[in-house]
């Protein structure tokens, strides 16, 4: 334990036999347990993790990083950990930095702490310009959605309090990193970015997440869009409605200017129909936004109920384990 707190590290892994052993060997002694989520590996990842004393959660087939993270989170709650740290199995992160991530949580200064590769320019890792640009754009997108500036929303080295874990409700299968920021920020939890020096490239093999940046951006954007839709539908659909409205008004004013100049709609009658089409779409988007807002409020209530149920279940489990059986006379 660290200052009386049970710390569990979760490591999702897919075919990481070349690096998983070294990562586990470097885990600090104050860590109580390590959970390796074997996401359908076909190499010796599972065997190596078991030989190093890790708890292994197996996926019979590859389900994606998002679901691997959820499996690890569930196992941590079952272990009744006070703090969970998740990190990658490729060796890019230094386990000695775990202490820096967990201290703000233990001191109640943050609910969620994430390592940040880009907050401090002096610690920027070496990587291709396209990857650097992609990370920057993704961070700016998430920052604009949650109205809070973040510099690195894709780093897989993070720490969470027990309460934060019970509040997390994620749906993405491909990844969890960006959705976590949206989920926790909209729930009002305190997020802290900690500048951290990491290696920019893998020592062994290629990245399984960002080897194809276009595919990564497409799949990640879908997760972000769904999360934005679920939490801020009026803002999302309102912006779309505004775009359609401006397009429709543009066609309408063009037609009116032509009419006042030449006292005729021809040959631009089609702009009138186009204006009506876009203005109708704008109204539909506004109505859709209000309808989705009702569902968003229902989800917020469901999230709160789920959180309370998880908390109650954990309390019941503690009570059951503390019951001392008495002998029958």
Averaged pLDDT, 289-310: 87
pLDDT attached to residue 61: 94
SS3 216: helix
pLDDT attached to residue 328: 45
pLDDT attached to residue 327: 46
- Is it the case that residue 165 has pLDDT exceeding 60? yes
pTM of the entire structure?
0.80
Report DSSP state, residue 5.
B
Per DSSP, the residues of 255-289 read HHHHHHHHS--TT-HHHHHHHHHHHHHHHHHHHHH
> Ranked by mean pLDDT, which of 96-100, 134-138, 223-227, 310-314 comes out on top?
96-100
Distances (CA, A) of 101 to 7, 152, 197, 227, 229: 11, 15, 13, 26, 30
pLDDT attached to residue 189: 95
pLDDT attached to residue 202: 62
pLDDT attached to residue 105: 96
- Is it the case that residue 318 has pLDDT exceeding 90? no
- Is it the case that residue 201 has pLDDT exceeding 60? yes
Contact 208, 201 (CB under 8 A): no
Strands 112-116 and 83-86: unpaired
pLDDT attached to residue 47: 96
Averaged pLDDT, 23-32: 95
Residue 92: count other Cβ atoms within 10 Å of its Cβ.
Answer: 21
Report DSSP state, residue 30.
T
Averaged pLDDT, 279-308: 90
Averaged pLDDT, 146-162: 94
pLDDT attached to residue 222: 82
């Amino acid at each position: 334990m660290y200052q009386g707190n049970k710390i569990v590290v979760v490591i999702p892994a897919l075919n990481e036999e070349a690096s998983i052993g070294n990562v586990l060997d470097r885990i600090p002694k104050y860590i109580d347990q390590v959970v390796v989520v074997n996401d359908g590996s076909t190499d010796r990842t599972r065997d190596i993790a078991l030989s190093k004393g890790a708890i292994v959660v197996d996926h019979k087939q590859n389900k994606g990083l998002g679901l691997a993270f959820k499996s690890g989170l569930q196992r941590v709650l079952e272990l009744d950990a006070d703090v969970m740290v998740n990190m990658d199995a490729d060796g890019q992160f230094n386990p000695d930095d775990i202490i820096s991530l967990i201290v703000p949580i233990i001191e109640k200064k943050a609910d969620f702490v994430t390592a940040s590769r880009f907050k401090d320019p002096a610690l920027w890792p070496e990587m291709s310009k396209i990857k650097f640009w992609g990370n920057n754009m993704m961070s700016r997108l998430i920052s604009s959605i949650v109205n809070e500036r973040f510099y690195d929303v894709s780093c897989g080295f993070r720490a969470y309090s027990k309460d934060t874990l019970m509040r997390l409700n994620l749906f993405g299968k491909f990844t969890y990193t960006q959705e976590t920021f949206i989920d926790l920020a909209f729930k009002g939890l305190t997020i802290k970015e900690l500048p951290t020096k990491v290696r920019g490239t893998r020592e062994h093999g290629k990245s399984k997440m960002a080897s194809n940046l276009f595919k990564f951006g497409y799949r990640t954007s879908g997760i972000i869009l769904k999360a934005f839709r679920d939490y801020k539908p009026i803002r999302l659909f309102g912006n779309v409605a505004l775009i359609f409205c401006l397009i429709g008004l543009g066609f309408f004013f063009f037609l009116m200017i032509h009419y006042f100049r030449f006292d005729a709609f021809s040959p631009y009658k089609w702009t009138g129909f186009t204006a009506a089409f876009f203005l109708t779409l704008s109204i539909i988007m506004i109505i859709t936004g209000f309808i989705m807002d009702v569902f968003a409020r229902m989800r917020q209530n469901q999230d709160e109920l789920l959180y309370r149920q998880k908390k109650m279940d954990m309390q019941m489990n503690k009570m059951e384990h503390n019951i001392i059986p008495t002998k029958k006379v």
